């Protein structure tokens, strides 16, 4: 039986990874610090070492160096985050076999271990160990980014997104992130920060969506005692907290005109005053903002300052909606399931029925990655063992696979106008039928706009879902 040493200061990760590998036929031991891991390696024989790059007492490169000095043939695999990939590559040059990115995908761990053991056997007596043959599987594409546990997919839209991130991260440009709700704008902002020269400095995020003018000013710039009712003491604002690092402003279009003017002054002069204060304070922050609304359209409508827009718009990135990157859906499904298993401390949920994956691919995901993650978490909680099946999915997900898909086909076969194929077209043209025709056109147009998400369509039409379902059924030829 092949023996694996896991070195990670995260005890939960050690336990979870250890149990998983034991089920695959390996014997495992764990150490929660670099020093203890090195000592344990010297005391006993291990075939593979899985070592986290960031440990409490040592870096992975130090552990690698000491283990290699003791045993030059030792197989060491580095576990790293996306922001450490360049460093991890350097560590591989120093003798590590390979690296695996966090959060760990079980099949990828098995793949790398299998390749390592196979190569070791080929370099030795030429006999491949049984464990290596049994555990070697196809390595799945995709890698996680930043500290949020976010997966990078393999679709063309995703590759273009991360190409832009790679280009702009090392600069000091201000950035506008555009994207629908749930596409991961804050995670992308953190990723840019982690891959910039400011990565060792604070990253501070602020949601501007629901803040009043007074509260927004206090949150951004801080306040002094007595500045307004309820200001019982001095408070640091986000510009102070983020000094030297990155400030992320989500839903920036919702800031009042007064706060926009104050924000422009800070960006221009890199100085500000706390609300109610007289002392000027200096700040050095990189600003990344996010918006569901096109800020260029907003300033043309008079809702956003044009000069502030141009200050922010040194570089803009559009985050693709999940429905536009369907090639990534199976990757994200497995990834979110692995995270849910870890969160729930359960290993029994192994994957998804083919029917479930097809439902995922057909559903338009109006809530994007946030909605997808929540659906997976719910499914994992309701699944006791084996694979996730359709019975544990929310009703609206399954319904989309049924009626809504029929209407996608119906829309393709019949335009949303009166025609020979239209169920209302054969009736007499009177006021009642004209109203029915108009109702049909309105409902079908709204369904089309929201990618046949009937819950969202019902909200827009200001009717309940049951009423919408009944109307849809009545239109069937």
Measured at the CA of 88, the angle between CA 83 and CA 89, to 5 degrees, comes to: 115
b/e 307-336 (16+ beta carbons within 10 angstroms → b): ebbebbeebbbebbbbeebeebbbbbbbbb
For residue 237, what are its two tokens? Answer: 């604002």
CATH topology of domain 322-393: Helicase, Ruva Protein; domain 3 (1.10.8)
Distance CA 188, CA 146 (A): 8
| 338: three-class secondary structure by DSSP | helix
pTM assigned to the model: 0.56
Give me the pLDDT at residue 124, please.
58
pLDDT at residue number 302: 87
Say if CB 22 and CB 6 are below 8 A apart: no
In this prediction, residue 101 carries a pLDDT of 74
Q: Are 36 and 57 in contact (CB under 8 A)?
A: no
Contact 22, 30 (CB under 8 A): no
Q: Under 8 Å CB-to-CB from 120, ≥6 apart: which residues?
A: 47, 73, 75
The pLDDT tens digits of the residues spanning 186-242 come to: 989 999 998 899 988 889 888 887 777 778 888 898 888 887 777 788 888 889 888
Cα–Cα distance measured from residue 439 to residue 423, given in angstroms and rounded to the nearest whole number: 13
Give how far the C-alpha of residue 73 lies from the chain's centroid of Cα atoms, to the nearest Å.
38
Residue 399: predicted pLDDT: 65
Pick from 448, 438, 432: nearest CA to 417: 438
Who contacts 36 (Cβ-Cβ below 8 Å, separation ≥6)? none
Backbone angles phi, psi at 143, to 5 degrees: -150, 150
**Structural domain spans, the chain:** 3-140, 150-318, 322-393, 396-474
- The answer to whether the Cα torsion of 372, 138, 152, 336 is positive or negative is positive
Instruction: For residue 393, report the phi and psi dihedrals to the nearest 5 degrees.
Output: -85, 150
Residue 77, SS3? strand
| pLDDT at position 175 | 95
Q: Please, what sign has the CA dihedral across residues 161, 164, 170, 174?
A: negative
Instruction: Centre a 10 Å sphere on the Cβ of residue 13 and count the other Cβ atoms it contains.
Output: 20
How far is it, in rounded angstroms, from Cα 433 to Cα 427?
Answer: 7
Task: Please name the residues in contact with 209: beta carbons below 8 A apart, sequence gap of 6 or more.
Answer: 250, 251, 254
Alpha helix stretches (DSSP H) within 235-325: 238-241, 257-269, 295-300, 306-312
Q: How many CA atoms does the CB half-sphere of 220 hold within 13 Å?
A: 30
Distance CA 290, CA 104 (A): 29
Q: Is the dihedral of CA 358, 364, 366, 370 positive or negative?
A: positive
CB distance 306 to 295 below 8 Å: no
pLDDT in tens, the chain (477 residues): 899 999 998 888 888 888 888 888 899 999 999 999 999 999 998 999 999 888 888 888 899 999 999 999 899 998 876 545 556 566 777 788 888 877 677 767 887 888 888 777 666 544 444 333 333 323 333 333 333 445 667 788 888 998 899 899 999 999 999 998 889 899 899 999 988 999 888 898 888 877 777 788 888 988 888 877 777 888 888 898 889 999 999 989 888 888 999 999 999 889 998 888 888 899 999 999 999 888 988 888 888 999 999 999 999 999 999 999 999 999 889 888 888 887 787 767 888 999 999 999 999 998 899 999 999 999 999 998 889 999 999 887 876 544 344 444 444 443 333 333 344 444 455 566 667 777 777 888 787 777 667 777 777 887 776 677 667 766 654
pLDDT at 40: 94
Q: What is the DSSP letter of 399?
A: H
Kindly tell me the number of DSSP H helices and DSSP E strands found in the chain.
Answer: 21, 16
Architecture of domain 3-140: 3-Layer(aba) Sandwich (3.40)
- Whether 150-318 and 322-393 share one fold: the answer is no
**Residue 325 in contact with residue 157, Cβ under 8 Å?**
yes
pLDDT in the model for residue 451: 66
| Residue entry with tokens 């690092």 | 245
Smallest CA-to-CA distance from 58 within 40, 33, 81, 78 is with 33
Question: At which residue do the structure tokens 């100085």 appear?
Answer: 271
Of 349, 357, 356, the residue nearest 386 (C-alpha) = 349
Phi and psi at 388, nearest 5°, equal -70, 130
Q: What is the pLDDT of residue 171?
A: 93
Does 150-318 carry CATH code 3.40.50.300?
yes
């Amino acid at each position: 039986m092949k023996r694996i040493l896991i070195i990670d200061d995260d005890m939960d990760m050690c336990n979870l990874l250890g149990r998983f590998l034991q089920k695959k036929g390996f014997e495992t031991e764990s150490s929660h610090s670099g020093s203890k891991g090195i000592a344990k390696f010297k005391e006993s024989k291990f075939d593979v070492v899985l070592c986290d790059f960031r440990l409490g007492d040592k870096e992975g490169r130090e552990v690698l160096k000491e283990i290699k000095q003791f045993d030059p043939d030792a197989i060491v695999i580095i576990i790293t985050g996306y922001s450490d990939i360049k460093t991890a590559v350097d560590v591989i040059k120093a003798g590590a076999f390979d690296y695996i990115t966090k959060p760990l995908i079980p099949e990828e761990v098995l793949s790398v271990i299998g390749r390592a053991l196979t190569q070791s056997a080929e370099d030795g007596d030429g006999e491949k160990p049984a464990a290596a043959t049994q555990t070697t599987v196809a390595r799945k594409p995709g890698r996680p980014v930043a500290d949020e546990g976010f997966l990078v997919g393999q679709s063309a839209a995703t590759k273009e997104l991360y190409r832009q991130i790679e280009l702009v991260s090392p600069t000091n440009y201000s950035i506008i992130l555009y994207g629908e709700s749930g596409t991961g704008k804050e995670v992308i902002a953190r990723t840019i920060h982690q891959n910039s020269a400011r990565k060792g400095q604070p990253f501070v995020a602020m949601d501007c969506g629901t803040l009043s003018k007074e509260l927004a000013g206090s949150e951004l710039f801080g306040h002094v005692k007595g500045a307004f009712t309820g200001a019982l003491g001095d408070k640091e604002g986000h510009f102070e907290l983020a000094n030297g690092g990155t400030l992320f402003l989500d839903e920036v279009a919702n800031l009042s005109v007064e706060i926009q003017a104050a924000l422009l002054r800070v960006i221009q002069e890199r100085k500000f005053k706390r609300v109610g204060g007289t002392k000027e304070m200096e700040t050095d922050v990189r600003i990344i903002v996010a918006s569901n609304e096109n800020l260029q359209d907003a300033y043309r409508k008079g809702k956003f300052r044009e000069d502030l827009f141009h200050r922010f718009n040194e570089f803009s990135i559009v985050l693709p909606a999940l429905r536009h990157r369907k090639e990534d859906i199976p990757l994200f499904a497995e990834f979110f399931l692995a995270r849910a298993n870890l969160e729930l401390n359960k290993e029994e949920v192994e994957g998804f029925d083919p029917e479930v994956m097809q439902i995922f691919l057909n559903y338009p995901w109006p809530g994007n990655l946030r909605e997808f993650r929540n659906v997976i978490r719910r499914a994992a909680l309701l699944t006791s063992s084996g694979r996730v099946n359709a019975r544990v999915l929310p009703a609206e997900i399954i319904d989309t696979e049924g009626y809504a898909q029929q209407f996608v086909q119906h829309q393709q076969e019949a335009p949303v106008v009166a025609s020979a194929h239209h169920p209302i077209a054969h009736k007499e043209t009177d006021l009642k039928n004209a109203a029915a025709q108009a109702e049909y056109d309105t409902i079908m147009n709204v369904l089309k706009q929201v990618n046949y998400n009937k819950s969202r369509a019902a909200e827009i039409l200001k009717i309940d879902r049951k009423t919408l379902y009944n109307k849809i059924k009545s239109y069937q030829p």
